[in-house]
Structure 1
Amino acid sequence: MTSPESQSPAPQPESKERVYRSAPAIAGGVLLLAVVGWIGIDAVISGEGRTPWLALALMLLIVPLVVAFTLRPAVYVGDDRLRIRNPFRVIALPWGQVASLKSAYSNEVLTESGTKYQLWAVPVSLRARKRAARREMRATAQARRAMGRDEGRGGALGMGAGPGAGPVFGAGPDRMSDGPVRAETDRIMDELRGLHEARHGAETAQGEVTVRWAYEVMGPAVAGALLALILVLVG
């Protein structure tokens, strides 16, 4: 019979990462790839001389760049680390190494060593911020008008009521919005800041920052550029 001390503990299930990506960037990337593919394939099929080869070289250059800047960017968020997949790099940041998350004209992560990494998958939209601010102003004004009407109605109905009178329905903070209206990317940054505060000191969220270059994107793009340059020089 196996003693309790010799029994190994059951492995803990790994927490699933949440993924944040930019839907407009993905839609734009698919559209650009369709246009490049249509023009490039047409040039390869119907082109003459060195045109098909030049078209192939340009496609080899353009397609990886379009994928890098539109389809590739993503932010993977787990309990122990933040993984940022930018166009040409993948950065793994344990929460213990994250100093702060900043939002200005771009969303950035600042490490304890002072290095900044931009979140390409969570772009800042000033237009979305303005729309959110207008919605917040309208929601606040509507809530105040509703509270004013309810307070007036409650005052009229409650004249002469004693201390045991029931509550005035609709009055009070319950009619206010649950929170400020925020742009989608700002709400994502708020979630990341909350997780950072909760996990910054966790033992499993410590470690070193790792950066890996995306050679699978850079290699084909460089090869396409060199091939296009050779074809142009050779004439």
Structure 2
Amino acid sequence: MTTPDHQSPAPDAPEPESKDRIYRSAGGIAGGVLLLAIFGWLGIDALIAGEGRTPWIALAALLLSVPLIVAFTLRPAVFADDDRLRVRNPFRVIVLPWGTVASLRSGYSNEVTDTAGTKFQLWAVPVSLRARKRAARRQARAESGRGGAGPVLPDAPVRAQTDQVMDELRELFEARAQAPGSRGEVSVRWAYEVLAPAAAGAVLLAILLAVG
């Protein structure tokens, strides 16, 4: 007499990878879309309707300006998972396993420092002093209470949005810094996909302006 086999998962089956938490600046994205629309409209109009050297100057200006606009507005992002922090800044991509992170600090800018003492700014998480002051006023009003009824505390700490992001990153760092999967070395890669077209546009524009 036989018994039915019970299928069991393979002992060496890989665990599903954790998904990235992605942080970006909504204001930067909105500003970048607006600037691209303006530059695109002006540049395409000059390319189509321009005479003489105007289309070439417009083309050079677009080659120079569009990559830079994208680099400083749409491109910046911070990706965090259980193993590492990946920082995509305008001209570089920095990958830091949590074991290589020394601290995450907030001042006039948000930055991460590795164990070698190198600091990297988080362009995608800009500091807003106005938002901090607004959050502090809300916290003060909540603590003072309404109508003399005593302190009325908010359901959650009142913090500026970017400060909340930094709190989340610190919590993840503290939880995963000693994990086996968080070991490795810091890597830095230059964004040649941004630098190359911008440099080509700058050279072409300089040549056109020099020849008069």
Q: Does 1:134 align with 2:137?
A: yes
Q: Does 1:198 align with 2:175?
A: yes
- For residues 77 and 204 of structure 1, the distance between their equivalents in structure 2, rounded to whole angstroms, comes to 13
The aligned residue for residue 210 of structure 1 is: 187
Q: 1:82 aligns with which of 82, 85, 95?
A: 85
* Conserved? CA contact 1:143–1:177, under 8 Å: no
* Conserved? CA contact 1:143–1:176, under 8 Å: no
Q: Give the superposition deviation at 1:144.
A: 8.9
The aligned residue for residue 185 of structure 1 is: 162
What's the C-alpha RMSD, in Å, of the aligned pairs? Answer: 1.7
The aligned residue for residue 208 of structure 2 is: 231
Secondary structure at the residue paired with 1:146? coil
The aligned residue for residue 3 of structure 1 is: none
Secondary structure at the residue paired with 1:211? strand
Change in Cα spacing, 1:139 to 1:90, as seen in structure 2 (3 Å) is same
Structure 2 residue identity aligned to 1:224: G
Runs of 5+ consecutive residues of structure 1 not aligned to the other structure: 1-6, 149-174
TM-score by length of 2: 0.92
- For residues 147 and 106 of structure 2, the distance between their equivalents in structure 1, rounded to whole angstroms, comes to 30
Q: 2:29 aligns with which of 23, 26, 29?
A: 26
- For residues 141 and 112 of structure 2, the distance between their equivalents in structure 1, rounded to whole angstroms, comes to 32
Q: 1:110 aligns with which of 94, 108, 113?
A: 113
| Runs of 4+ with deviation above 6 angstroms | none
Report sequence identity in percent: 68
The aligned residue for residue 38 of structure 2 is: 35
Partner deviation per Cα, 1:140-171 (whole Å, 9 max, x = no partner): 112693347xxxxxxxxxxxxxxxxxxxxxxx
Q: Give the superposition deviation at 1:178.
A: 3.5
Task: Number of aligned residue pairs: give it.
Answer: 205
Q: Give the superposition deviation at 1:186.
A: 0.3
Change in Cα spacing, 1:147 to 1:110, as seen in structure 2 (3 Å) is same
TM-score by length of 1: 0.84
- Computing the radius of gyration over CA atoms, which structure comes out larger, 1 or 2? 1
The aligned residue for residue 17 of structure 2 is: 14
Q: Which has the higher helix share?
A: 1
